[in-house]
Structure 1
Amino acid sequence: MGKTTKRSWAILAALLLTATPAVAADVFAPTAPDAATAHGPWQIRVRALGVITEDAGSVDGIPGSDLSYSDTVTPELDISYYFTPNIAAELVLGTTYANIHTDGSIAGLGKVGKTWVLPPTLTLQYHFTNFGAFKPYVGAGLNYTMFYSQSDAGAFTNLDVEDTFGAALQVGFDYMLDEHWGINLDAKKLFLEPDWTANLGTTKLSGTAKLNPWLIGTGITYRF
């Protein structure tokens, strides 16, 4: 092998040794997110929400007594904050009403009254991120339900359903159409059993209203 050939191989080897770290750096360096598609930690959803109650309850001291409630559909807003891509907190806001009817052994007494219901619910969620645009999640949290604008019906007066805390469980998914917009399906179970009182003539009745509703919602997601 001549001196020129040896010199050429030496130059080639030096070039390869110099280039290898730069190539490796290009291959293994993390890719920066596209600024046009990046989003922040906030998310809002607007849903149509079906409220489906358990239809159970009682009047103290009356065997076989029961209660039933009207089911409703209402608009709902929730606000979420993502601490990480997987962990988020969600606050659910909405209001609806419930008509309260006697049932079971006291069904003949008819309608007790009507109350409006404001049940803000805070859940901590885990979001699964390995299914592409399909993003399922599960959650659990706490609900505080306020009953307001209560009115009586028939022979009943002074209806009072007491505000109460309850637990909440949640499952749902977002299907993202792009980085910001998506569609949502969500189901929550609230464990909600407030105490209540009302007068029937001169007799004061008390008991437990076992609402325990399912909240089934569908709507639009916006991530920003």
Structure 2
Amino acid sequence: MNKSLLGASLAVLALAAPFAHAHEAGDIILRAGAITVNPKADSSSVKVDQGPLAGADLGGKATMSSDTQLGLNFAYMITNNIGIELLAATPFEHDVKLKGTALSAANGKLGTLKHLPPTLSVVYYPLDPKSDFQPYVGAGINYTWIYDEHVGSEASAAGFSNFNAKNSWGMAWQVGADYMLTDKVMLNAQVRYIDIDTRATVENDAVAPGTRARVNVDVDPFVYMVGLGYKF
């Protein structure tokens, strides 16, 4: 009889205890992990836009390398299912190459650039907040700050200088998921597609004084991140 009463009491307590929520309104979530930017880099042909050769189309394309850095997410849950999220990271560095241009000296590695991609998004978690598995989708706005552009040593020897790329505003979309390991700690994985467009220019007085070439690049990277999160 005592065992039956004990079992019944435990069952009542279990039913009366509040359910653990994966994410609730008011939660602050910090995620950190490895983040990779993989540019698609679909570009226009390279054109001369200043100097005595202005208007010449050199053809070719520009490409950009991938890079992996430390990624950070800061999220705030407005409701149990909707949050706002800021993506940040340590600076990415990419090699910029030209290929297939009519100017053979331009083909190969042009130089490097760095960028920071802060992205502010609204995210939606469709599942019941009690679920340990929390997939989500999101959309937002990205600002890509490009800086520290450098011409490579070989390009510099060929007369190239003053490499510059413009900053970019664009939309960003994402899918991701959290899996709660404890009430506070979670595994996270996410994929983003970010609309990044830039115009890069470079000068070459060795070809002709005042010569400048430009190329428009749709960087449009896929961004992958895996890591851990903590809920405050």
- Do they fold alike, i.e. is TM over 0.5? yes
Larger radius of gyration: 1
2: CA distance, partners of 1:176 / 1:158: 49
- Point out where structure 1 has 5 or more consecutive residues left out of the alignment: 1-26
2: CA distance, partners of 1:85 / 1:168: 23
Are 2:181 and 1:195 equivalent residues in the alignment?
no
1: CA distance, partners of 2:31 / 2:110: 35
Which residue of 1 is the match for residue 3 of structure 2?
none
Per-residue CA distance 1:51-85 (angstroms, 9 max, x = gap): 11103212235264211111111111110000001
Please list every run of at least 4 consecutive aligned residues from structure 1 whose deviation after the TM superposition is greater than 6 angstroms.
none
Higher relative contact order (CA 8 A, sep 6+): 2
Are 2:183 and 1:179 equivalent residues in the alignment?
yes
- Give the SS at the match of 1:207: strand
- Give the SS at the match of 2:197: coil
Matches within 5 A, 1:60-209: 60=47, 62=57, 64-94=59-89, 95-106=91-102, 108=104, 109=106, 110-130=108-128, 132-153=131-152, 154=155, 155=158, 156-201=160-205, 202=209, 203-209=211-217
- 1:103–1:119: structure 2 CA closer, same or farther, 3 Å change rule? same
- 1:125–1:101: structure 2 CA closer, same or farther, 3 Å change rule? same
Amino acid at match of 1:162: K
Amino acid at match of 1:96: F
With structure 1 as the length reference, what TM-score do the two structures score? 0.79
Per-residue CA distance 1:9-57 (angstroms, 9 max, x = gap): xxxxxxxxxxxxxxxxxx9xx967489x997510000010111110321
Amino acid at match of 1:49: I
Tell me, yes or no, if the aligned pair for 1:66 and 1:106 is still in contact at 8 Å: no
Counterpart pick for 1:210 among 218, 221, 224 = 218
2: CA distance, partners of 1:159 / 1:88: 39
- Point out where structure 2 has 5 or more consecutive residues left out of the alignment: 1-11, 48-55
Provide the aligned C-alpha RMSD in A.
2.4
Tell me, yes or no, if the aligned pair for 1:127 and 1:136 is still in contact at 8 Å: yes
1: CA distance, partners of 2:120 / 2:127: 22
Question: How far apart are 1:119 and its partner, in Å?
Answer: 0.8
Tell me, yes or no, if the aligned pair for 1:87 and 1:126 is still in contact at 8 Å: yes
With structure 2 as the length reference, what TM-score do the two structures score? 0.77
1: CA distance, partners of 2:171 / 2:23: 35
1: CA distance, partners of 2:223 / 2:69: 10
Tell me, yes or no, if the aligned pair for 1:38 and 1:179 is still in contact at 8 Å: no
Question: How far apart are 1:99 and its partner, in Å?
Answer: 0.9
1: CA distance, partners of 2:102 / 2:227: 39
* Identical counterparts, % of pairs: 30
Amino acid at match of 1:151: H
